[in-house]
């Protein structure tokens, strides 16, 4: 049986999980993203939150101390096992991890005050279907915070990376998609800008947006 692009994607993250946090670029991005979310969303100490595509929890572990509970979900058991160890070491007892792929399985039954996702939407084939699912998982008035690349030319990941379904997103179009799903109060800002230097010395800058909306 051939391996699907989604399985290749999961396997790639399982393999790179142990070294994920070593990248200063990823750590700086996550710090910027966590600060942007904390600045845009009125986080509450009794909130039930879900992070989708949490990876090793670079963003989630930074926000967890300000939340009542964080269910950190990802398709990659390898990424989650790094996060589980970090959460245990940091005493983040209210952070739980779960293997979850909402493109293939139903959502959990519980409802959340906040769903956030950083740098994962570009791996999702049908973004409209996923934001519809997110809407159903939120309590009335609950917050959605989506972080990803602005539309780019494909150079951010390069050619050899499986599972990259979108070369970033148009902010206005994504907000329109959210409103069509039933979200209100959509708002967009730049959370961070990633700078990459190519082998030939060419420097490229990739703005990363934060879009917030309410169910
Ligand atoms: C670029 S990484 C970002 C990780 C983390 N959010 C961060 O900022 O460091 C993308 C993450 O999305 C996860 N992912 C990819 N496709 C997914 C899917 N269909 N469902 C859940 N997670 C997925 C990957 O396993 C990976 O951990």
In which residue ranges of the chain is pLDDT below 70? 1-2
At 136 the pLDDT is 98
Query: Ligand 1 centre and the CA of 215: distance in Å?
Result: 23
Type and span of the H or E element at 32: helix 24-40
Nearest to 95 by CA among 40, 49, 145, 37: 49
**Which spans in 41-170 are helix H?**
60-63, 77-89, 127-137
| Atom 4 (ligand 1) nearest CA | 55
Nearest to 149 by CA among 211, 209, 213, 205: 209
The preferred substitution site among 97, 120, 125, 131 for testing ligand 1, maximizing ligand atoms within 8 Å of CB, is: 120
Would you list the domain boundaries of the chain? 5-214
At 49 the pLDDT is 98
Query: Ligand 1 centre and the CA of 79: distance in Å?
Result: 9
| Atom 19 (ligand 1) nearest CA | 101
At 43 the pLDDT is 98
Percentage of the chain exceeding pLDDT 70? 99
At 1 the pLDDT is 47
Distance, in Å, from the CA atom of 101 to the CA atom of 34, rounded to the nearest integer, reads: 23
At 2 the pLDDT is 54
Type and span of the H or E element at 79: helix 77-89
At 159 the pLDDT is 82
**Superfamily per CATH, domain 5-214:** Vaccinia Virus protein VP39 (3.40.50.150)
Distance, in Å, from the CA atom of 203 to the CA atom of 196, rounded to the nearest integer, reads: 6
Query: Ligand 1 centre and the CA of 197: distance in Å?
Result: 23
Number of helices (H), then strands (E), belonging to the chain: the values are 6, 7
Q: By the 8 A CB rule, do 186 and 203 touch?
A: no
Query: Ligand 1 centre and the CA of 76: distance in Å?
Result: 8
């Amino acid at each position: 049986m051939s391996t699907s692009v989604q399985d290749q994607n999961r396997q790639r993250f399982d393999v790179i999980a142990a070294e994920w946090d070593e990248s200063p670029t990823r750590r700086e991005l996550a710090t910027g993203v966590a600060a942007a979310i904390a600045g845009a969303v009125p986080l509450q100490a009794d909130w039930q939150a879900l992070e989708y595509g949490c990876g090793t929890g670079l963003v989630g572990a930074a926000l967890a101390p300000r939340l009542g509970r964080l269910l950190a979900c990802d398709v990659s058991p390898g990424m989650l096992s790094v996060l589980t160890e970090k959460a245990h070491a940091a005493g983040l007892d209210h952070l739980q991890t779960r293997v979850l792929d909402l493109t293939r399985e139903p959502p959990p039954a519980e409802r959340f005050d906040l769903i956030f996702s950083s740098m994962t939407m570009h791996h999702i084939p049908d973004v409209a279907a996923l934001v519809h699912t997110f809407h159903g998982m939120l309590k009335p008035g609950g917050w959605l915070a989506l972080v990803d690349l602005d539309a780019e030319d494909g150079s951010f990941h390069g050619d050899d990376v499986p599972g990259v379904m979108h070369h970033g997103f148009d902010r206005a179009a994504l907000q329109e998609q959210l409103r069509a799903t039933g979200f209100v109060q959509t708002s967009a800002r730049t959370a961070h800008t990633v700078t990459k230097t190519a082998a030939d010395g060419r420097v490229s800058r990739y703005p990363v947006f934060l879009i917030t909306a309410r169910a």
